[in-house]
Structure 1
Amino acid sequence: MRERAAGTEPVNGYGGNVGRLWRLARWLPAALCALGVVLDFATPREVSVSAPFAAAPLAAAAFLGLRGTVLTGIFSSGATILFSAFHDSGNVLEAEARSITIVTVSVLAVGVNYVLLRSGSRLASARSIAEAVQYAVLPTPPSHVGALSVATRYRAAQAEARIGGDFYAAEETPYGVRLLLGDVRGKGLDAVAAVVLLVGAFREAAEREATLPGVAARLDRALQRDAHRLQGAARLEDFSTAVLVEVVDPSTQPPNPPAPGASPTTPEAPGGPRAPGAAGGGQGSAAAEERAAEEQVVLRVLNRGHPAPVLLHRGRAALLEPTIPALPLGMTDLAVSPQQVDEFVFPPGAQLLLYTDGLSEARNPEGDFYQPAERLSRASFADPEKLLAAVLVDVAAHTGGRSADDMALLAVARDTPGDTSRDA
């Protein structure tokens, strides 16, 4: 539902030509009937060509409605009977057998059309239910959360009714705006159950836990409890990659202490601004003080085995790679994994893109992976909605319209001072 409204429905192997091919196919029954008439008049009287008349009702059953199929069957049967009686000079028994055959095919075509229409109606109903479930599990966040503009997209790899395991959430909390995006292993009902569990646990933990490692620990415990209901190998494979982000102004929020055994890092963001607390030039000029005030807002990122987010600012794009890789959620029983929270400056006008591996593992016909940071560098976007729209168009061009995995995208932007577009 959301993809249709936004014009971002899944793209299949035919690219954007499906509608054109379908419109042409609807003319096939009429073309076959016309071909049958032309061939019957063009061939000698002792030669009869009935194949187009037999094929026309079957084509109508596939591409037309019930009325069109009935009319095509009547025309094919009537034309065959008339040509047998007044134009062909072949064997009478052969002509009668041919007429009976075309009438029988026409009747069967009507039955096939009825079955296809019923099946199509059931499939459409199943897809509607699946889309409604997906919408209930992943409701669209508001366009603004705190001081951030927010946009999301979810695109399934196939057009069939299928619910994937990608998820996202955005919450305004006492500790700042917190974001979550991840990918549960598997598809179908088990994936949906895990998504519901993780999104619900995140919304509660985001309000209560003072640190991102605390939030991640709550999600870990939720998945571990859920694993007890599974059997066999599925119990060992109940995990999810995820990236948690906290957007906060340290001047108004309490500090976020690092996890035990980890030390906070302050790598630079695109464009060269230093992270809060880093030494800088200047002797306290007004411009330096204003710039320092603008750069107070930071991103705190905790990556649990997920593709690195992309930070865009002033035509530059950089991957926010974790300093210390960590295991996905639900796998902490396998090893002790430190939870490193990395900090990055989030200057005014910057945009942050979170995505699942459906984007980063999208391949072109030559087998090259899509590189989000490389493809988005030297580009600027007015808002997160335009950013995601451009990403979907670009990845479709990269893959030739073929998708092998679901794709969830979440983009946020820090509004520039004096921005009035929020209420537009």
Structure 2
Amino acid sequence: MGGPADGLGRVPYVAPPLLLLSGVAAGVFSPKPYYGLPLLACTSMVAGMSYSFRSTALFAFVASVAAAGAAGYAGREGAALLIDVIAVLVVSLVGLWIKWLVDRQGRNLALALTVAEAAQRAVLPAPPTDIGPLKVADRYVAAQIGAAIGGDLYALQESPFGIRAMIGDVRGKGLPAVSAVSVAVGAFREAAEHAPTLHDLADRLDRALDREGERRRDTADDIEGFVTALLVQIPVTGDTVTVLNRGHPPPYLLHEGNVVCLEPTHPELPLSTGLDSPNGEPVEETFPFAPDDSLVLVTDGVTEARNAEGTFFDVERGLGGLASRGPGALADALVEAVTEWTGGQRQDDMAVLVLTRGR
């Protein structure tokens, strides 16, 4: 059964015929025959809000004919009748002109959004759904409405050292951060093929971001600052997962219905901070990865999502009932839970990458 919203949605479609009929009735039965002219004149303008250009033009023609008929019925002749028709016709033509402008701007905007989304997705392409022993799902919700991506990033690819993944978050959000995303993802694609360890991979990313930041400094295309990053490596056998955390929210391991937060034992600084590590060389940590286990990588758009009372979203609790789901359903459910928690508010860019080991 339709609710009040359904009725409100039909109002723009019903209004033009009602205005047309009301204008005719007012022109025929009102004490002065020109009382119906404003209603007839605005019929095409209101029709332009919901109907196509051709339908709007039809309303304009019918309104002009109705104005002539109502004026004739009321006894207005000659110049008076002609003025009534011209008045309705001029306003109707203005309405058609506005409709044409709005339609043209809408087409241009749709084209611009399509091109922008394609360009953004070229910067951050979707990972494969199957890679080695893994099933993969990704979800991205940009904080800036109309943007496909923002300041969060992820990448996944096979390398001579196993399957490597990265998820990260550049300082800032929205479209201004996309430039730094492109640098980080490009550096990962190249370095993942050659760096023998995750520690070496992080160093190469660090140097690439520093070089690009220095090159673009004090320019209009200056990239955002540091980048938090979580680097993951899974061998072709899929039986372990090695993690190196550079200041990023930890991943979550789903094993036999249990959710384990893989907090780093030695917290490290993000990439491109220009500071030395407080703990010496960053530590890579390895965990068992059994068949049907899932590793969930998220950004702080998930871990720092807050409700109306300012309470943070509990990721472990949110993932608690999702361990038995496939990667796609799991990612969808997590994004839906965060969206419900925040009341639909886009507080920050949000990225989710789920890696599930098959049997």
TM-score by length of 1: 0.72
**In 1, Cα distance between equivalents of 2:210 and 2:198:** 18
Q: Deviations over 1:301-339 (max 9, x none)?
A: 2222222222222222232222232222111x1443442
311, 324, 334: which one aligns with 1:368: 311
Q: Deviations over 1:39-58 (max 9, x none)?
A: 55675456824443333222
**In 2, Cα distance between equivalents of 1:38 and 1:317:** 70
Q: What amino acid maps onto 1:387 in structure 2?
A: L
Would the alpha carbon gap of residues 33 and 352 (structure 1) be closer, same or farther in structure 2, given more than 3 Å must change? farther
Deviates more, 1:340-349 or 1:26-35: 26-35
Q: Secondary structure at the residue paired with 1:373?
A: helix
Higher relative contact order (Cα pairs below 8 Å, separated by 6+ residues): 1
Which segments of 5 or more consecutive residues in structure 2 lack a partner in the other structure? none
Report what 2:95 is aligned to: 109
Report what 1:261 is aligned to: none
For 1:301-340, list aligned pairs within 5 A. Answer: 301-331=243-273, 333-338=274-279, 339-340=282-283
Would the alpha carbon gap of residues 37 and 346 (structure 1) be closer, same or farther in structure 2, given more than 3 Å must change? farther
Q: Secondary structure at the residue paired with 1:48?
A: helix
**In 1, Cα distance between equivalents of 2:6 and 2:278:** 50
Q: Secondary structure at the residue paired with 2:233?
A: strand
328, 331, 339: which one aligns with 1:388: 331
TM-score by length of 2: 0.84
Would the alpha carbon gap of residues 119 and 46 (structure 1) be closer, same or farther in structure 2, given more than 3 Å must change? closer
For 1:147-186, list aligned pairs within 5 A. Answer: 147-161=133-147, 163-186=149-172
Contact kept, 8 Å, 1:29 with 1:56, in 2: the verdict is: yes
**In 2, Cα distance between equivalents of 1:368 and 1:87:** 68
Report what 1:351 is aligned to: 294
For 1:144-293, list aligned pairs within 5 A. Answer: 144-161=130-147, 163-186=149-172, 191-232=177-218, 237-248=224-235
52, 56, 71: which one aligns with 2:39: 52
Report what 2:57 is aligned to: 70
Deviation at 1:409, TM superposition (A): 1.7
Q: Deviations over 1:21-72 (max 9, x none)?
A: 7665344433433443455567545682444333322222232221022112
Deviation at 1:138, TM superposition (A): 2.2
**In 1, Cα distance between equivalents of 2:42 and 2:302:** 43
Q: Secondary structure at the residue paired with 2:193?
A: helix
Q: Deviations over 1:130-176 (max 9, x none)?
A: 12112322222222222111111223345525642322111222322
Q: Secondary structure at the residue paired with 2:215?
A: coil
Contact kept, 8 Å, 2:305 with 2:312, in 1: the verdict is: yes
Would the alpha carbon gap of residues 59 and 326 (structure 1) be closer, same or farther in structure 2, given more than 3 Å must change? farther
Q: What amino acid maps onto 2:266 in structure 1?
A: I
**In 2, Cα distance between equivalents of 1:162 and 1:380:** 28
Q: Cα RMSD between the aligned structures?
A: 3.3
Would the alpha carbon gap of residues 405 and 190 (structure 1) be closer, same or farther in structure 2, given more than 3 Å must change? closer
- 1:30 equivalenced with 2:56 (yes/no): no
**In 1, Cα distance between equivalents of 2:125 and 2:5:** 29
- 1:61 equivalenced with 2:48 (yes/no): yes
Q: What amino acid maps onto 1:319 in structure 2?
A: C
Contact kept, 8 Å, 1:47 with 1:88, in 2: the verdict is: no
Would the alpha carbon gap of residues 387 and 38 (structure 1) be closer, same or farther in structure 2, given more than 3 Å must change? farther
Deviation at 1:107, TM superposition (A): 0.8
Deviates more, 1:336-345 or 1:406-415: 336-345
Contact kept, 8 Å, 1:45 with 1:88, in 2: the verdict is: no
Q: What amino acid maps onto 2:65 in structure 1?
A: G
- 1:398 equivalenced with 2:341 (yes/no): yes
Deviation at 1:20, TM superposition (A): 9.0
Contact kept, 8 Å, 1:300 with 1:342, in 2: the verdict is: yes
Q: Percent identity?
A: 40
**In 2, Cα distance between equivalents of 1:163 and 1:236:** 16
Deviation at 1:223, TM superposition (A): 0.7
Q: Secondary structure at the residue paired with 1:408?
A: strand
Would the alpha carbon gap of residues 58 and 153 (structure 1) be closer, same or farther in structure 2, given more than 3 Å must change? same
**In 1, Cα distance between equivalents of 2:330 and 2:11:** 35
Deviation at 1:214, TM superposition (A): 1.1
Deviation at 1:226, TM superposition (A): 0.7
Q: Secondary structure at the residue paired with 1:329?
A: coil
**In 1, Cα distance between equivalents of 2:323 and 2:7:** 34
Q: Secondary structure at the residue paired with 1:179?
A: strand
Contact kept, 8 Å, 1:179 with 1:244, in 2: the verdict is: yes
Deviation at 1:217, TM superposition (A): 0.9
Would the alpha carbon gap of residues 98 and 373 (structure 1) be closer, same or farther in structure 2, given more than 3 Å must change? farther
Which segments of 5 or more consecutive residues in structure 1 lack a partner in the other structure? 1-16, 253-295, 417-424
Would the alpha carbon gap of residues 103 and 121 (structure 1) be closer, same or farther in structure 2, given more than 3 Å must change? same
